[in-house]
Amino acid sequence: MAFLPVTYKEMKERGWEQPDFVYVCGDAYVDHPSFGAAIICRLLESRGYKVCFLAQPDWKSTDDFKRFGEPRLGFLVSSGNIDSMVNHYTVAKKKRSQDLYSPGGKSGMRPDRADIVYCNKIREVYKEANIIIGGIEASLRRLSHYDYWDNKVRRSILLDSSADLLIYGMGEKQIVDIAEALESGLPASEITFIRGTVYKTKDWERPYDYIVLPKYANAAKDKYAYCESFMKQYENTDSVIGKTLVEEYDKGWLVVQNPPEKPLTTEELDEVYALPYMRNYHPMYEKDGGIPAIKEVKFSITSSRGCFGNCNFCALAFHQGRVVSSRSHESIINEAKKIINDKDFKGYIHDVGGPTANFRKPACKKQLKSGACKNRQCLWPKPCENLEVSHKDYVSLLRKLRALPRVKKVFIRSGIRYDYLIYDKDDTFFKELCMYHISGQLKVAPEHVVPRVLEKMGKPSRNVYDRFVRKYEEINKQLGKDQYLVPYLISSHPGSDLNAAIELAEYLRDIGHNPEQVQDFYPTPGTLSTAMYYTEMDPRTMEKVYVPKNPHEKALQRALMQYRVPSNYDLVLEALRKAHRTDLIGFDRKCLIRPRKITDSKVKQKETFSNCKKQTDFKKKHSKYKRK
């Protein structure tokens, strides 16, 4: 077992004259199943294909792209585990100082819009090469989409990148089918029949049984047309009921999205995670301090995919789908044994989960046959009557992991869906979660507490979270444990005005929580919340939505969530005055901030000056009257 070739010399040492595929990646080379690039490459290797890995090539010239020569079947291009713009910029559009997916955490190792830049560099050198793009950046930008960084609707990344074919979703089935089609002699531009792919054509005869989206030119300038386009995309992400989508561009180009690929079965997932990963970054990065991103996942296990929680600000449903699929216990135990045998293992498995840790099966039996409901959510606004709530399988799995030799503790760090947990009438998992799987605190994501904001987020009502909090405290008391809850909260989400932000601050006051970090809503491609942010409408109803966009107002809302921080005082004071909530300035327990002495003296000086002026004016008038 060895890493894939990363140099021409290593390729030649394997006796290869030419690779079948060159995988070009915006991340450093980490051969671990938490990295999509590793999965795709090892899967192709298992099918007998020769794959070379080109990590973080220098995009300012074409030299790196010629390292292995032209591959026999094609280039595979991905920005990496994260969209390159999210990787580079904060929600305030400021450059990040660190990149966890680069050597030593160094930033600037990939370009903005990496997929586009890499593909165009390849095309400079190899005019006729097959180029297939995939990964999160390609997947979420597969059709017209609002781009927060350009503040406009951009066209499909397939056109801007000059790639021949785009894979959306996780991609394992698609890449094998594409490789076989290429091997048979078909060019990538002619591969138009594979589910979970997007292709471009000028021939209306190519797509079959399709839905036509509004033309890109209309969606780009008309927000009503954009909402219509988004909703058609949003409603066709399920592999059972999803239709082919066609979007028309100028010069006669059509971008065609084939229906989504079916989720991998348990057997297929097991095969993927049993591939011979090195489970670490390439040793060439040791001199730079390694790759920081491996620290959190090296001793973690992915147990499932998909999420029927479907929060409006999350793109997971758009990328992985709403139907949950899981690995077998045997597969997970085998991976745990590999972790235990690692020389750096200290007895702690950091996580066993997925997009949502406590989802291990589809929401209901109906989903497997009829797909996820198009116009109905599983958990919001209330749990669907067909929802099957059970943690029995997860409890059984965790018990097996805890029983393994040398395992001191099995943590659960990926998100726990607290509403799904509280709906379970059997407290076994809740009790074992508190007893064995957290250490001092549990992080959960209510995101907000105000009903009109929660409605736009697709999150359950506050009373559901309050029920969870009471139950958590009750169970910990029974177990004799002193453990805390850390709520994740989002500021400036569509629907949140200053009054909503103040109500959230009051909630934080009442529970005595002072968040160390606050996450501003980040409008990334592929989410319903991003469509609301851009259009200031809810695409589901076309009703107007209040959206805080002004940087200063966003700063006010963020400061209210951290009203105890001294440097936020002036912002909190301004926010309370703007919202006419000066009742929250004072010495009472309900107040958020106290008045400053200097502020009081200035007010008194102003009042004194005003009174003196009035008295002077009165005396002047009175004296004139007397003289008359």
The CA–CA distances, whole Å, from 431 to 312, 440, 446, 504 equal: 30, 14, 20, 29
Q: How many residues does the chain have?
A: 628
Q: Report pLDDT for 618.
A: 40
Give the sign of the dihedral formed by CA 306, CA 310, CA 313, CA 318: positive
H/E run at residue 520: strand 519-520
| pLDDT at site 374 | 87
Find where tokens 């990926």 sit.
414
pLDDT digits over 228-254, tens only? 999 999 999 999 999 999 999 999 999
**pLDDT tens for each residue of 85-107:** 999 999 999 999 999 999 999 99
Sign of CA dihedral 130, 136, 137, 140: positive
Average pLDDT, the chain: 94
Query: CA-CA distance, 581 to 538, in Å (whole number)?
Result: 29
- Euclidean distance between CA atoms 16 and 18, whole angstroms: 5
Burial 412-436 (b: 16+ CB within 10 A, else e): bbbbbbbbbbbbeeebebbebbbeb
| Residue owning tokens 């709403």 | 322
Q: Which of 461, 299, 491 is nearest to 380 (CA)?
A: 461
Of residues 271, 236, 77, the one with CA closest to residue 158: 77
| 525/229 Cα distance (integer angstroms) | 13
573-594: pLDDT as tens digits: 999 999 999 999 999 999 999 9
Of the pLDDT bands very low, low, confident and very high (cuts 50, 70, 90), residue 599 is very low
pLDDT at 606 over 50: no
For residue 229, the SS3 value is helix
* Phi, psi (rounded to 5 degrees) for 472: -60, -45
Element spanning 317, H or E? helix 316-319
Q: Given a cut of 70, is residue 294 above it in pLDDT?
A: yes
Determine the average pLDDT of the residues in 558-572. Answer: 97
User: What are the respective helix, strand and coil percentages of the chain, to the nearest 5?
Assistant: 40, 15, 45
DSSP designation for 587: S
| Tokens at 611, concatenated | 């009174």
Does residue 600 surpass a pLDDT of 80?
no
DSSP 3-state of 352: strand
Report DSSP state, residue 181: H
| pLDDT in the model for residue 516 | 84
- Separation CA 244–CA 373 (nearest Å): 17
**Phi-psi category of 323—alpha, beta or left, where left has phi over 0 and alpha has psi -120 to 50?**
beta
Q: How confident is the model at residue 517 (pLDDT cuts 50, 70, 90)?
A: confident
Query: Quick check: helix, strand or coil at residue 12?
Result: helix
In the DSSP assignment, the letter for residue 365 is H
Give, as one character, the DSSP assignment of residue 4: P
pTM for the full predicted model: 0.92
Summarised one tens digit per residue, pLDDT across range 355-399 is: 999 999 999 999 989 999 988 899 999 999 999 999 999 999 999
Instruction: Please give the structure tokens belonging to residue 465.
Output: 């979270």
In Å, how far are 172, 405, 468 from 367, measured between CA atoms? 21, 38, 27
| DSSP E strands, 150-205 | 152-154, 165-167, 197-201
Q: What angle (nearest 5°) sits at the alpha carbon of residue 51, between those of residues 8 and 1?
A: 90
Beta bridge partners of residue 22, listed in sequence order = 52, 75
Amino acid at 84: S
Q: How confident is the model at residue 214 (pLDDT cuts 50, 70, 90)?
A: very high
SS3 412: coil
What is the pLDDT, as a whole number, of residue 598? Answer: 52
d(CA 606, CA 604): 5
Q: Which of 162, 166, 163, 184 is nearest to 175 (CA)?
A: 166
pLDDT at 626 over 60: no
202: helix, coil or strand? coil
The reported pLDDT for the residue numbered 483 is 96
Task: Note whether 130 and 163 are within 8 A (CB).
Answer: no
* Local structure of 432: helix, strand or coil: helix
Cis peptide bond N-terminal to 381, omega within 30: yes
* 3-class state of residue 133 by DSSP: strand
CA distances from 509 to 161, 237, 392, 459 (A): 49, 40, 37, 22
What strands lie across the sheet with 484-491, from one edge to the other?
Answer: 441-447, 484-491, 519-520
For 277, the token pair is 């990963």
Looking at per-residue pLDDT, the higher value among 37 and 608 belongs to 37
Mean pLDDT of 297-319: 94
Question: Can you give 14-82 as a three-state secondary structure string?
Answer: CCCCCCCEEEEECCCCEECCCCHHHHHHHHHHHCCCCEEEEECCCCCCCCHHHCCCCCCCEEEEECCCC
